[in-house]
Amino acid sequence: MANAPDRSPRPEFRPAAADAPIAPEEAPSPVRIAVVAGPNAPAASARPSLRPTPSQPQRPVAAVIAIAPGTSALAVPRSLRPDLRPADLARPRAGTAPRTTTASVAPTVQRGRLCGQRGLAGDRLAPIYTGTGGCGIVEPILLREVDGIALSSPATINCDTARALQQWVRQSLVPEVGRYGGGVRSLRVVASYACRTRNNQPGARLSEHARGNAIDIAGIGLADGTELTVLTDWRTRREGGILRDLHRGACGPFGTVLGPESDRFHRDHFHFDVARHRGGPFCR
| Ranges of each domain in the chain | 110-283
Q: Which element (helix H / strand E) includes 244? A: helix 238-249
Tell me how many helices (H) and strands (E) the chain has: 4, 16
Calpha distance 92→183 (Å, rounded): 66
Amino acid at 109: V
Going by C-beta distance under 8 Å and a sequence separation of 6 or more, which residues neighbour residue 116?
159
> Which residues neighbour 128 within 8 Å (Cβ) at sequence distance 6 or greater?
135, 136, 137, 140, 156, 193, 212
Phi-psi region of 131 (alpha: psi -120 to 50; beta: other; left: phi over 0): left
Task: Provide the whole-model pTM.
Answer: 0.62
Contact between 21 and 56 under an 8 Å Cβ cutoff? The reply is: yes
182 three-class SS: helix
* Residue 78: C-alpha distances to residues 65, 83, 84, 86, 135 (Å): 15, 12, 15, 20, 70
Q: Cβ contacts of residue 114 below 8 Å, gap of 6+?
A: 120, 121, 122, 124, 141, 143, 159, 162
Closest to 200 (Cα-Cα) out of 190, 189, 212, 210: 210
Confidence (pLDDT) at 65: 44
pLDDT tens for the chain, residues 1 to 284: 566 666 666 666 665 544 445 444 444 444 444 444 445 555 555 565 555 555 555 554 444 444 445 544 444 455 555 555 555 444 444 443 333 333 333 455 455 579 999 999 999 999 999 887 889 999 999 999 999 999 999 999 999 999 999 999 999 999 999 999 999 999 999 999 999 999 999 999 999 999 999 999 999 999 999 999 999 999 999 999 999 999 999 999 999 999 999 999 999 999 999 999 998 999 99
| Among candidate residues 213, 249, 247, 251, the one with its CA nearest the CA of residue 228 | 247
